[in-house]
Structure 1
């Protein structure tokens, strides 16, 4: 088996694990029963401290100091992840969970468009078809948000998705491991949240859930998902955020008995169906390109 094929499988495993872990993020945030900025401060702070400890242990165990932020691209990625985290937290407290995760699934479309513009990876016709249907799905959800008073949260969720897709595209372009750079990005929301908490006070009823989320769930998910673009294309990495899209509403339904509205379910089904079909097609052709490159490098 070629090294390219092994790297691709490794990327699928790492990124898939990250997406699965990330699906617990929103339920844990809501279990904390805190206000927006206090929750963001506690979550970002525990994530940063835990990541620093992981980096220190890794460096001691391997005998070499691992680069935390690889160059200018690393600082850009860190900043983008920080901005995405701020927008995500605002959206958590200003829209329904189902609306949020379905809109976050738009990540794949943004990643494909940004790869086209900046990496010259023109989307195939099937990608444009998927984008068309996904726009319909997101439009249904946002329209429902207008009638239910969640339009601000829906738009902030869409902004978070775009920023996250930009971070994935920059990571893919650099070809460097951005796992720790994504964690360093938590410094920005931590500083912003600290300022807001100083102005308005600190309120988190059950901090244990947020600490567990920041120290375990968010840290592992960020490390896995941010490392994915080193082995996979942007749309492939974005596909694994689908696990959060599919699983999070289920966890919220089971824990909080919060059922998505009918328009949200319709829009979500359209988005997921389009994404799954497109992502399977993308993965098939990606593996095909890897096999072709392997044959060129190792002709019989």
Structure 2
């Protein structure tokens, strides 16, 4: 297989892995809400369950695979793990201090931040098509925010914006490292777990009326989602990874509407449709470009 064919295959793999992670992440907030717990109890329990799932996954990998790649690859891995821990805390607090729509719509600025950070920090200039897609998504987010931002809490909105910046920085650092960071967000879950336990006064202070929903979230959904999203930058660019975080922007409000009757507004639907079209169009364009390059530069038999 030629280098360009391998690049195309890796790009398709990256798109698939990241898409799975983005889709899984869309049910995170609904499962948190279904647990009925207060903020710090959920932060502690969700973090502890995710960390437990990470240990099980790591043990299984060591037992059934010959892969001995470091779980936390060097200082960069430690940095990414620490940043994931901070982002997890700010995200969870934002869930309880602003509306679901505001949270996911503000997080939708992730691709713009990732593109700018990638350009400034690692010299990965976005292609014009990426700028066009980002402009369309920013316009879609603007429609949504203009219709609903005033309904949220300013502290929660600020936490959401901080989380978006942290995720963009994480994606950029991971992209520069070009190594697997799949376990970094999972082991980072011990940070919010310990902080949450401190805030509620220990395990006895954790109150969860419906713990089953949070167990599904912490033991299955979050490990799958963040392992995939953290592995994506190994194969695709930062802005592309960030775009798949936008699936939560579109689908989380839909799940909240179906479960809790939080109906989306007309502008919300229009803005969401613009974001989805931009995301899908850009991804299809990227696949087409890689396939065209692979066909053009593939070795040919002499006549």
Corresponding residue of 1:231: 235
Higher mean C-alpha deviation, range 37-46 or range 196-205 = 196-205
Whole-angstrom CA distance in 1 between matches of 2:35 and 2:172: 32
Q: Aligned pair in 2 of structure 1 residues 63, 149: CA closer, same or farther (>3 Å)?
A: closer
Q: 2:178 aligns with which of 172, 175, 194?
A: 175
Deviations 1:223-247 (A, max 9, x none): 1111111111112222222332222
Shift of the 133–150 alpha-carbon distance from structure 1 to 2, 3 Å rule, reads farther
Contact 1:28/1:210 (<8 A) preserved: yes
2 CA distance for matches of 1:72 and 1:138?
35
Closer/same/farther in 2, CA of residues 151 and 135 from structure 1, 3 Å limit: farther
**Contact 1:93/1:153, CA 8 A, preserved across alignment:** yes
* Structure 2 equivalent of residue 97 of structure 1: 100
**Unaligned 5+ runs, structure 1:** none
Unmatched 5+ stretches in structure 2: none
* TM-score after normalising by structure 1: 0.88
CA distance in 2 between partners of 1:170 and 1:54 (Å): 24
Residue 209 of structure 1 corresponds to 213
Change (3 A) 1:281 1:6: closer
* Contact 2:8–2:287, Cα closer than 8 Å, also in 1: no
Separation (CA, whole Å) in 2 of partners of 1:157 and 1:73: 24
Q: For residue 131 of structure 1, report the CA deviation from its aligned partner.
A: 4.0
Deviation sequence 1:69-109 (CA, Å, 0-9, x none): 00111011111111111111112112222222222222211
What's the Cα RMSD here? Answer: 2.5
Deviation of 1:32 after TM superposition, in Å, equals: 0.3
Describe how 1:1-300 pairs up with structure 2 within 5 A.
Answer: 2-145=5-148, 147-198=150-201, 201-285=205-289, 287-288=291-292, 295=298, 298=299
Q: Deviations along 1:247-293, whole A, 9 cap, x unmatched?
A: 2222211111111234544544444444444444445445555666x
- The answer on whether the counterparts of 2:197 and 2:206 sit within 8 Å (CA) in structure 1 is no
Cα distance in structure 2, aligned partners of 1:185 and 1:154: 23
Distance of 1:242 and 1:183 partners within structure 2: 21
The 2-side partners of 1:124 and 1:7 are apart by: 19
Q: Counterparts of 2:291 and 2:121 in 1: how far apart (Å)?
A: 23
Q: How many residues align?
A: 297
Given that residues 142 and 154 in structure 1 are in contact (C-alpha distance below 8 angstroms), is that contact kept between their aligned partners in structure 2?
A: no
